[in-house]
Chains A and B, each alone.
Chain A
Amino acid sequence: MSSYEKINYSLRPAKHIERKMMAEVFRHLPSFGDIASYRYIGFGSIYFSDFYLFHKILGINDMVSIEKDEHNEKRFLFNRPFKCIDVKFGSSLEVLPKMTWEQRSIIWLDYDGTISKDVLADVEYLSSSVAMGSIIIVTLNAQPERVEKDDPVDRAVDLLKTKVGDNNVPTDITGHSLRKWGTALAYRRIIHNKVMEAIANKNGGRTHSNKINYKQLFHFNYKDGAQMLTVGGIIYDEGQKQLFNVDFLKDKFDFLMTEDTPYEIHVPNLTYREIRHLDSLLPGDLSDTDINIPLEDLSSYKTIYRYFPVFAESEH
């Protein structure tokens, strides 16, 4: 069963925050031309939340949703929020190679599950096919593997090697390092290495100014039930390096992460009344509210309040 049958995507607050943060960054990438001229490719499922946001906020009107549930075609087509969304049925592994890549694209592969050889194949394919200025993002379930007490120490590493192939797992990763959020860190590294490998292969035949580069923009960790990882960045060529200034973006957005340190999205547990009250104090100092909200939650809320979902209350 796909996870859409169990979760109502549009109520996942951390995901909502992540989406809004990414939209903000996309809006501020003027260097590669008008963002509205980009194509957006994602896994919309039946809720199409990302499509909804990116069309409304960024004006992107060339949109493709890839859907692997081919049996419920009518339902997916019915639920498209806008006419400009094309739904292609099949797995990303099948669909992506059939598409054309001249147009700059934002591709967000928000997988249901964990890392796999197919995920790496998609990453490799995209890294070596997209137009310069394109952005590739991957979201994965990064819950650590369950390991029993009497399993050998590195059983989790063996499981990881089975999932992605021996040569894709750096040799310093141990069962110990995969505990808790270590699995997310390992996945990020594996994906990053695959991108670098793919573009190095492509660069073999290229002169210096045509050499392809990748700069990471996003590295999110959050919990939505399961531990989740999002990693993504922009593909550009050496000749256009000056057009693309990450430092300017880093000053503006503290959640832009270009290295192996993740940005953790904490969603504090607050009531609607508390949210409205805190909003009325922001931007500003929240430390002297005397409602007994834990300081940690206050601090989390202050960091992300602008991206927090807006809830509508109903009478009950």
Chain B
Amino acid sequence: MTIVPSETGQSVDGRGSNARGQSYVLEAIGASVIVLAAVVFALQATAVTPLSVSTANQHIQTQERVTADTVLEHAARNGTLQGAVLHWNPDNRTFWDASAEGYLGRHPDNGFGQVLNRTFGRSNVATNVHVVSVGPSGTSNTQMIYQGIPSESAVTATHTLVLLDEDNLTAPGYEQHTLNESNATDSFYVRDTMTNHSVYTVVEVRLTVWRK
């Protein structure tokens, strides 16, 4: 073993310096690996953040579903929902002042449509409304309002109504027309599913809402 004096005057062992240097490098590498692993773990562990699309969507969806439920409940309580279901032109076999596919891109000009306008018209929320019924010939799904294809975050609220034989249509000029009379001429979009009793049928109004 050759002892070579260092510039500082201290004697240095060459092989020992080499070994210490290697251990220093290994320690540095080990430290950096641990720090890197910790950073990667930290980034992977935060699965849910305020910026996460799923969390923001969930809150918005819940809010929209509650709003849609409230709109339907309010309309059912004041009779405008039933009025909208019966806002039918038996001669044209369409909803009043609507196309064969319902009200396209707009809300009907009745109490229910006004509620939809007030609630969703100004908040950039689109709505589709369908009237569904199940009878002897299967399920019938009648489109009342169509404003587009719902997005993935769309929510649907439903409300069930009973229609009676003696209920009158609400379309202008047809207020004396009962469902019984419409059924006799097959001019209403749902048939009488409970003949010989006062109940005409049961329908479900489905309101789908989503942000445009």
| A and B bind | no
Residues in B lying within 8 Å of A, measured CB to CB: none
